[in-house]
Amino acid sequence: MADKTDIDFTYTTLDKIFRLSIGETGDFSGAMYNGDFSMTLEAAQRAKHEFIAHQLGIREGSRVLEMGSGWGPFLKFITEQKGAKAIGLTLSDGQYSACKRKGFDVHIKDCRTVKPADFGTFDAVVSVGAFEHFCSPEEYKAGKQEKIYNDFFETVANLLPNGGRFFLQTMTFTENAPTWESLDIHADKNSAAYLVALIGKHLPGSWLPHGSEMLTRAAAPFFRLINISSGRLDYIETIRVWRKMLRSFSLRKYALYLSLILEFIRSKKFRHMYQVFRISPIKVCFEKNIMEHYRIVFEKK
């Protein structure tokens, strides 16, 4: 799994810039337009939150665990709009601090190791955008990916009663994805080998699952599949709107950009981040069908 240093590099680095651009509880995951791209990003994110809450049966008094709670948008929605009792987990210091300032019950903890003894059991569990970080490239190369996912689904199942539901939203590779051996940060800038290598610089320590079948197979001993849908086109639109918002001018935000430029001058690691901001390789991989994006609802057997 991507360790805390990797997660902090991606999410704590973005923390202030993202919140200044998107809002204090900005949702750093694909929204839900359902084909209506006339919707605002805010409305599409709310539609996603409503969909998740409905699918999981979240209501007043429900105990909900969010694995990878980000800056707290879903925590805010289900506590304020549904009256749920929610706990969030993250490995990002920046996201943790932002959530605590908002009064959310958030803890710095690896989602893969949480047990009932830590926080009790829950009526529902949610993971939006965290699953992508659960397997590292080294674990993938060592042939451990499927076991990591199988162990994770067992972890989630142990937190739920029979019939309890788990919502998973994650990116995956498609059959068009390059092999690990072919990745090359110096390859042709339009190639899949370059784009996925660049994503690896943006999300260090992370390797995506290959297709939805890998997920449903790993979950099968513990969960029955309720429904699955693609959010790839929705995510393309989400990133398009984010890019516009991230580039909108404010003195505080551009001062932060300047500080990152100084890091860019000193560090090759940050130099690759410039390319990430410039071309948005995740968006391009969605457009080229190198990557997919799924929303999946599971029910514990």
Give the pair of three-digit tokens for residue 144.
């451990």
pLDDT at 2 over 60: no
- Of 17-21, 64-68, 245-249, where does mean pLDDT reach its minimum? 17-21
Residue 41 and residue 33: Cα distance in Å, rounded? Answer: 8
4 has pLDDT over 80? no
Separation between Cα atoms, residue 168 and residue 74, nearest integer Å: 13
| Helices (H), ranges, the chain | 4-7, 13-22, 41-56, 73-80, 93-101, 116-119, 137-141, 145-158, 192-202, 211-219, 232-247, 251-266, 268-279, 281-287
pLDDT tens-digit series, residues 53-110: 999 999 999 999 999 998 899 999 999 999 999 999 998 888 898 899 999 999 999 9
pLDDT: is 150 or 6 the higher one? 150
pLDDT value for 245: 81
Which residues touch 88 (CB under 8 Å, ≥6 apart)? Answer: 65, 66, 69, 72, 75, 99, 104, 105, 106, 107
Task: Please say if the pLDDT value at position 34 is more than 80.
Answer: yes
CB 76 within 8 A of CB 85: no
**Pick the residue with more confidence: 287 or 271?**
287
Q: Which 8-state DSSP code applies to residue 123?
A: S
Per-residue pLDDT tens for 98-131?
A: 899 999 999 999 999 999 999 999 999 999 999 9
Residue 132: pLDDT above 80?
Answer: yes
**Higher-pLDDT residue of 257, 120:** 120
What pLDDT is stored for residue 79 in this prediction? Answer: 97
Q: Which two tokens stand for residue 61?
A: 């008094």
Please determine, for residue 22, whether its predicted confidence score (pLDDT) is greater than 60. Answer: yes
CA 36/CA 11 separation, integer angstroms: 29
Question: Does the structure show a pLDDT above 80 at 300?
Answer: yes
Q: What rounded mean pLDDT belongs to the chain?
A: 89
Going by pLDDT thresholds of 50, 70 and 90, the confidence category of residue 244 is: confident
Give the pair of three-digit tokens for residue 69: 């709670």
What pTM was computed for the model?
0.88
- Which tens digit of pLDDT belongs to each residue from 192-240? 999 999 998 877 789 999 999 999 999 999 999 999 999 999 999 999 9
Contacts of residue 156, defined as CB under 8 A and 6 or more positions apart, other chains included, come to 67, 125, 127, 166, 222
Q: Tell me which of 281 and 245 has the higher pLDDT.
A: 281
Q: What is the pLDDT of residue 271?
A: 62
Helix (H) / strand (E) element for 292: namely strand 291-300
Domains present along the chain, CATH in parentheses: 4-181+207-270+291-300 (3.40.50.150)
Q: Give the span between the Cα atoms of 28 and 18, in whole angstroms.
A: 8
Query: Residue 212 has which token pair?
Result: 């939805």
pLDDT of residue 220: 98
Query: How far apart are alpha carbons 141 and 257 in whole angstroms?
Result: 35
pLDDT digits (tens, 9 = 90+) for 157-205: 999 999 999 999 999 999 999 999 999 999 999 999 999 999 988 777 8
Query: What's the rounded Cα separation, in Å, for the pair 207 and 87?
Result: 26
* pLDDT value of position 111: 93
Does residue 256 have a pLDDT over 90? no
The per-residue pLDDT for 270 is 62
pLDDT over 60 at 10, yes or no: no
Phi, psi of 135 (to 5 degrees): -120, 130
